[in-house]
Chains A and B, each alone.
Chain A
Amino acid sequence: GAVVSQHPSWVICKSGTSVKIECRSLDFQATTMFWYRQFPKQSLMLMATSNEGSKATYEQGVEKDKFLINHASLTLSTLTVTSAHPEDSSFYICSTSEGGDTEAFFGQGTRLTVV
C-alpha cells in the first residue's frame, strides 16, 4: 500500500508560536489529503480536506486562519498551527486515499504539545 510520511512525530512549542506539520506521499499521487485531529481516547475528527492546487475545505468549527493547510503538490501537504495555545495540544494525523470508498493511508501522526 501507499506510504505516507508525516513529520515531525512529536513537537513541543511555546504558546503563541507556530508549528508546521508535513505530510509526504512517497509512492502515491495524493490528489486529496485529509487532516484529522484526535484527542486522547477519542475518535478521529476531520479538520479539513485539501485538494492539490486548490484551497482546503474546512469542517464546521475549524478556524481556517488558525490551521493553515497548503497542498501545492501531489506529494506534499502541510498543516501549520498558527499562534498555538495549550488547547491546540493534540494528535494530528494526515491521510490520503483515491476516494471515500477505498483504503485510506495514514501518516504516523504528530503529537503536538503547547506549553
Chain B
Amino acid sequence: GENVEQHPSTLSVQEGDSAVIKCTYSDSASNYFPWYKQELGKGPQLIIDIRSNVGEKKDQRIAVTLNKTAKHFSLHITETQPEDSAVYFCAASIGSNYQLIWGAGTKLIIKP
C-alpha cells in the first residue's frame, strides 16, 4: 500500500527566512497531495494542495512543488512569521474512493 515519508521531523528557522518540508510517496498512482497545518490542541487545516497534473502551485507565501518521476513533493514557506509555527503534515491519495495517507509531521519553529 501507499507509504508517505516526511522530513525533517523538526525544523527551526529564523523569522523571515524560508522553510522547506519534503515528502516522498511510494505509490505512483497517487494523484492528490495536500498539506495541512495543525496548531496545538486543534484539528489540522488544509493550507495548500496539488494534483498530479500540475508541477507547482503557489498561494502568497506558500508554495508546493511536485516531482512525479522522483515521487516527492515539497512545501515551501517564504518570509516566515511567528504564526507559521505549527506542525505540518503532508498526505497523498490515489483518488476519490481512497483515504488519505499521512506523513509523520514536521514541527516548524519560527525563531524571533
Interface code A29-51, partner B: CB below 8 Å = 1, 0 otherwise? 00000100000011110100100
With A43-B89, A111-B41: A104-B46 Cβ-Cβ less than 8 Å = yes
**In the complex, A100 has a CB within 8 A of chain B:** yes
In the complex, residue of chain A having the shortest beta-carbon distance to the beta carbon of B43: A106
**In the complex, A95 has a CB within 8 A of chain B:** yes
What are the residues of chain B within 8 A of A43 when measuring CB–CB?
Answer: 89, 102-105
In the complex, residue of chain B having the shortest beta-carbon distance to the beta carbon of A38: B38
In the complex, residue of chain B having the shortest beta-carbon distance to the beta carbon of A99: B96
Q: How many residues of B contact A (CB 8 A)?
A: 26
Docked complex Cα distance between A99 and B58 (Å): 23
Docked complex Cα distance between A6 and B103 (Å): 24
Asked whether B95 lies within 8 Å of A101 as measured between CB atoms, the reply is yes
Docked complex Cα distance between A60 and B25 (Å): 21
Asked whether B99 lies within 8 Å of A101 as measured between CB atoms, the reply is no
- Least CB distance, B45 to chain A, in whole angstroms: 7
**Chain A residues packing against B (C-beta within 8 Å):** 1, 4, 6, 9, 34, 41-44, 46, 49, 93, 95, 98-104, 106-109, 111
The 18 sampled A-B contact pairs (Cβ below 8 Å) are: A1-B46, A6-B43, A41-B107, A43-B102, A43-B103, A44-B44, A46-B99, A99-B95, A99-B96, A100-B32, A100-B96, A100-B99, A101-B31, A102-B32, A103-B49, A104-B44, A104-B100, A108-B43
